[in-house]
A and B are shown apart, each in its own frame.
Chain A
Amino acid sequence: MTHFDWLVDGPIVGIYLLVTMLAGLAVRRYVSRVDDFLVAGREMNVYLGVASLAATEFGVITCMYTAQAGYKYGFAGATPGICQAIAMLVIGMTGFCIRPLRESGARTLPELFEQKFGPRIRRAAGIVIVLGGLLNMGVFLRIGGEFLVVVAGLNPDNLEWTMTGLLLLVAVYTILGGMLSVLVTDFLQFIVMSLGLIAVTVLVLWQIGFGTLVGTVETKIGPGGFNPFIHPELGWKYVLFQLLLNTAATLTWQTVIARVLAAKDSATGGKVFTRTSFFFVCRFLIPGIWGMAALATLAPLALQNLPGGLSSTDSSLYAMPTFLATFVPIGMMGLLVAAMLAADMSTDSSYMLTWASVIYNDIVAPFRWKNWTEKKGLLLNRTIVALIGVFLLFYGLWYQMEGDLWDYLTLTGSIYLASMSVLLVACCYWRRANSWGAAGAIIAGAFFPAAFLVLSKLESTKEISAAIGPHLSGILAFAGAAAAMIVGSLLKPQARH
């Protein structure tokens, strides 16, 4: 059962989709060079950057897993958001890594790495970034569709077609307008998304109340629901891993640093970071509040009657949309669904473009013919974006997710975050760093998360992987990558000048 009404809420969603599409298509005429397509001609200013960064980093999948964290861990589930807000504020204020990155004039991280570590490391880094990013993005479409199934009563049989249609809309304006369309649509999507998030949160706090949320967390989760250090499933390893992971994500996640690279200058990039930083607390706490409200109000058997065909075996993922389906009134439901579609579309468009930029700039670059015209470069970029869309459609819609979604995302993400963050810091601040160290950091950074995944899949080693846990495995990836960078760089003989 859902409060979504096609006559009242449907037109709200329809108008949002139409306006976004028109805006995305309208700016395509400004794209005449590859730089316009990939980094919006480096003309992005602070507030457009804030809107774009916030909209990109909040997708339906974000909303689902952060609400799941609120449902399972209470207020302590917002820890990753607080870690990322601190990291982004400090990096934005100090310009740590992002200043040299922006001032280098590079379009992507691997392009910067080439200046220090050579072309082979550039290509290797490009492959690691694209694989990590695309695998991570693989679960976006299905989870977004499942949100619509539960919250808006969409027929599960139509999930694939609905999400295919949505992806086509996004792909059309991203292919034609590149980063310019992404920025302009992100801006509209930020406003719609924020209105929906604020309205529903105020309604939850008004009708259910902060006291009820606190009481529910106290009785159903315990003191660990307020303090991650004493939660039996979290603890210091979780907090340390989140701090490392979110600092690395702020420094190297291609969709995040794309805003620094598209900024007018390094100072603007820093301001975008400092002024967006607190959004990351909102990004985790707002859906977390919805998740806690679900914990407070859902009947014990509510999650046993979910629609068929949902991918996750952990029903807690669907607690928040199940709660919203009957809590949000008709009229506001249209705003909520439009907000979630806005969140999903802004994430999809930005992700498609930024991974395409790495493929074009760092992986395909050596195979491009010399003296390619801007027109050919644009055509190739657009083709790569389209191919990523096709990949998403098949891998994303048919992928069967298992286990805790957040752990899956952080693990696949950490395959690249650990190595790329070590490479970036060493590239910017350690003169002795060289290609041997960089190669070692990439191998070590990928080894630990990959080994953990393999251990967890094999029956004979499942107990070992359970004893290590995803958080320690993630910490080891960062430590291993840093150690490999130091050892490898020191082992390589220094060139004589």
Chain B
Amino acid sequence: MLETHGHFLWWLVTAAVVIWYSTITIYVAIRGTADVREMLKNLSERKQP
């Protein structure tokens, strides 16, 4: 897995894709939940007469 097989650039890009995507999925899952709640709260308040 750690061997670049003579193609360091593509090895680096592949590693970055797996690591970045795994991290951002967890991060967005947490922060996105807060965003959904805030969006619905704001829309709900706006609907109040």
Contacts and interface: CB of A to CB of B under 8 A. Distances in A.
Chains A and B bind each other? yes
A214 B6 contact: yes
A205 interface: yes
A76 B5 CA distance: 16
A39 to B, nearest CB: 12
Nearest to A41: B43
A201 B18 contact: yes
Task: Tell me which of A46, A194, A195 has the highest count of chain B C-beta atoms within 10 A of its own C-beta.
Answer: A194
A107 to B, nearest CB: 17
A190 B28 contact: yes
Contacts of B31: 46-47
B35 A47 contact: yes
B43 A210 contact: no
A202 to B, nearest CB: 7
Contacts of B3: 210-211
Chain A contact residues, majority secondary structure: helix
Interface stretch (A114-122, A282-290, A412-420): A282-290
B1 A210 contact: yes
Interface stretch (A179-187, A343-351, A466-474, A484-492): A179-187
Given A197-B21, A211-B3, A187 B36 contact: yes
Contacts, number: 105
A195 B14 contact: no
A365 interface: no
A427 B24 CA distance: 35
Contacts of B14: 205, 210, 285, 289
Interface string A73-88: 0010010000000000
Interface residues of B, number: 34
Given A45-B39, A210-B14, A30 B32 contact: no
Nearest to B9: A226
Interface string A359-386: 0000000000000000000000000000
Contacts of B44: 30
A19 to B, nearest CB: 14
Interface in A76-131: 78
Contacts of B40: 27, 30
Interface in A277-336: 278-279, 281-282, 285-286, 289
Given A47-B31, A48-B32, A194-B25, A214 B39 contact: no
Nearest to B33: A187
Interface in B12-35: 13-14, 16-18, 20-22, 24-25, 27-29, 31-35
A187 B43 contact: no
A370 B42 CA distance: 29
Nearest to B34: A47
A9 interface: no
Interface string A211-255: 100110000000000100000000000000000000000000000
A202 B31 CA distance: 25
B17 to A, nearest CB: 5
Task: Tell me which of B24, B25, B28, B29 has the highest count of chain A C-beta atoms within 10 A of its own C-beta.
Answer: B28
Contact of B17 (A45, A195, A282): A282
B8 to A, nearest CB: 11
B36 to A, nearest CB: 6
B25 to A, nearest CB: 4
A477 B23 CA distance: 39
Contacts of B35: 44-49
Contacts of A32: 47
A226 B31 CA distance: 36
Contacts of A165: none
Nearest to B44: A30
A210 B29 contact: no
A205 B25 contact: no
B5 A45 contact: no
A279 B6 contact: no
Interface in A13-62: 27, 30, 32, 36, 40-41, 43-51
- Across the A-B interface, the 3 shortest Cβ-Cβ residue pairs: A48-B35, A47-B31, A45-B35
Given A205-B14, A211-B5, 12 more contacts: A41-B43, A46-B31, A49-B35, A78-B13, A180-B43, A194-B21, A198-B25, A210-B3, A210-B14, A211-B3, A278-B16, A281-B17
Interface of B: 1, 3, 5-7, 10-11, 13-14, 16-18, 20-22, 24-25, 27-29, 31-36, 38-40, 42-44, 46-47
